[in-house]
Structure 1
Amino acid sequence: MKTKQHLFTVLIFLISVPLFAQDGNAKPDSTKQAPHGHGNADPKHSVYGPPMPAKWKFQLAYDYRQEEGTPAFNFYKKNQRDRTLFFTIRDNSYDNINQYRVQRIAAGAALFPIKNDDRFQFDLGGVLDKIIDSTLYNKTLYSRLTWRATKKLWLRAGFEYSDEYKYYENHLGVGVYTKSLLSSYYFSAKYKIGFFTPIAVVGNGTKDTTTNTRYGAGAMLNGPKGTFLFGGYIKSTDETEDTRTLAIGRSANFGPDAFPSSIYVWKHKNDYDFHLGALFFGKTRNRLVKPATDGMTNGMFISTITLRENSLLRQRQFLTITDDFENGEYSIFFIHMNVKIPMGPSTVVNAGFSSLQFFKLFTNTKFWIFSEPVIGLFYNEETTPEFNLTTMKMGDKTERFFSFQVGSKIKNKFMFHIISEPTRSGIIGAVSYLIN
């Protein structure tokens, strides 16, 4: 009964928000410049700013780690709306969720189908995996529709689907694949009231024959100089899925900005912790603007009721070596994930990783055919369950190692990057062709 009351409250919020948005004092599309906004006068481009020429990146890459090699071809198209088209094809790619290797094709797009208007956005994408050494395929689908009805009202509906195989070894040591069907749909709304922006979400998630209802709410507080604070909570009929989300940071101006921009997100469940942080600063380049921080915060909150199989599709990110460091002269990234795995009545082991990354991009440096070189230094930790022969119990094994990245543009047409893991004999290389 209590669950139904909470769900009813969220539904009332979702229904009432559009009604308040029709208040006589609300303007359908204000062109007034918001703090840290671009001040574009055309309502069709009121979210991401005025049109910019598209940039294309085509990347050939090879990832050699864990004594296995993964060749890949990736590309994306990018404009003021970030990546609007992306594609990847990989051989022998490692599936971190299912922990086996696949041949992968993935693609997606962000479309603006109604007169190329920022306010109507449709995202879709999919992944097709062929499991290596088998005749089995995994298929995932991702879609969502976003309507920015006014400067204050934001609505989103989404549907995701996954048809995949899980792998385990039976008591005879024989590998067995079992089919699993996952789906999720949701509806979310937020409404800006001055510096306070509440958001609510409701949806269903199905795993095979089990369906859980999820619902929750959160709020964003906007402070001076582009600062923000977010907190949210999502409840599920399966209590193990209950999730808290916190975020804090600062959005950069669309123009030159002397202050650092940043975002830090924390998600927590009883058996799961996730931290994601980014800090950008530099006098000539600082691109973590408000549409990006809003999108990341909303996405991290709502992703609790979506499928983790589609996380890369939602991020529109499939490059073997990413180029996120281009958003600032100096960039710092932190990511941490840990999952608690019960191994008996009194034993819990951990599986996860942490990475702290620092980049320096030399934006105004040119030498011969080279320009904008970058260097990166990473500290990494990986934790996996391991059976301890001394104690005869399951425990945690943590491996710590450093890695390095160097790269540069060549005649502003090509880009090369190399990541080296010296202590693990791992190396990743990528060459990209740029069309501006």
Structure 2
Amino acid sequence: MTTEMRELCQEDWDEYYGTLELAFGGVAEAKEEHELWNALTEFDRFFGTWEGSTCVGTTGAFSFRLSVPGGSLVDAAGVTMVSVAATHRRRGILTSMMRRQLDDVRAKGESLAVLTASEPVIYGRFGYGAATFATKAEIDTARVSLSVPAGTDDVRLRYAKPADVHEACEAVYARRVSERPGMLARQPGWDRLGLLDPESERQGSSPLQCVVAERDGEIVGYARYQVKPDWNVAGPSGTVRLRDLEADDPASCAALWRFLFGIDLTSTVEAHSRPTDDAVFQLVSDVRRCRLQVRDSLHVRLVDVGAALAARTYRTPVNLVLDVEDAFCPWNAGRWRLTGDLKDATCERTDDDADLALPVRDLGSAYLGGVSLASLAAAGRVRELRPGALAEATTAFGSDVAPWLPHGF
């Protein structure tokens, strides 16, 4: 039978989502998750591939605003829910969906597409490069102490029901977005993700808890977490599972971490996705006992090279010609002159000789400032065509703070 790709409609959503769940192992998500993802689905941006009445492929995109170096928010397509039924692999279905999707992203005027990859090897061939990384930590709080900054004792902490302080916590998050590349400005409805707490996924942990940090009666930080009680022959050995933590200043941040370290009947704080330069790793007495693991997180694809490079700023003045390779989106291929500094930038077509040559995938990796162009060159991914150009570009493209994606999609 032939297959047909078509825009998703509401009445087909359950079939579509069931195909996605089956592709990811067949374990059904909780009702609360189904309802949230259904509510967030932008039906004109989601596509299914159908064989008769059976859905055999899925993909979609959310309309995001992504923070980039310099603090601007750039329109980006958040690619999501990508799957192909195991019975229909190697028929070109994924390639067809990626083709349709990137064409649509370009037509909407979005210069970036971003995703989190179940298997990174899949998306490199479509021009996506790993641009942010997340740190998992399992901190032995029985042996690790914190050295906190001045003013930490002046921060007031209090318990609060997550829903009761949700608006104030979202305001703290919103203030943080422009300070770190890779963060997503919460679009309408996305604030609900922070409160999602299906009982079926707690794995023995408590319901979601929240502590807020206050100064002069105003909420300046928060931590949302769960506690999983446990005991062994030596006594209590519970785990604090951190969901998310944001704060306006170092003292408030330290006060929240100190609270998590000191929760009774626990000996471990577990955080699954923190920035690679998270302040807590400078506060701890023994970073080895934090058992850090780093993995890729957000993958970036430049859909419009000129617009994307002009949308961010650069740490030092830059005037370079980039020769970009892009077989999947050929409108990007060729030479681009990038001129910019800490205030603004332009990027336009040129016939001038190139200073650097690189695939669009590696330009995506370097875009948010977390992956060094010099490291890509050392791997043979970037070629220096003018002596000195690589050092100039590496410095200019960098970011003072590590880019970070705060949550998946």
TM-score w.r.t. length of structure 1:
0.20
TM-score w.r.t. length of structure 2:
0.21
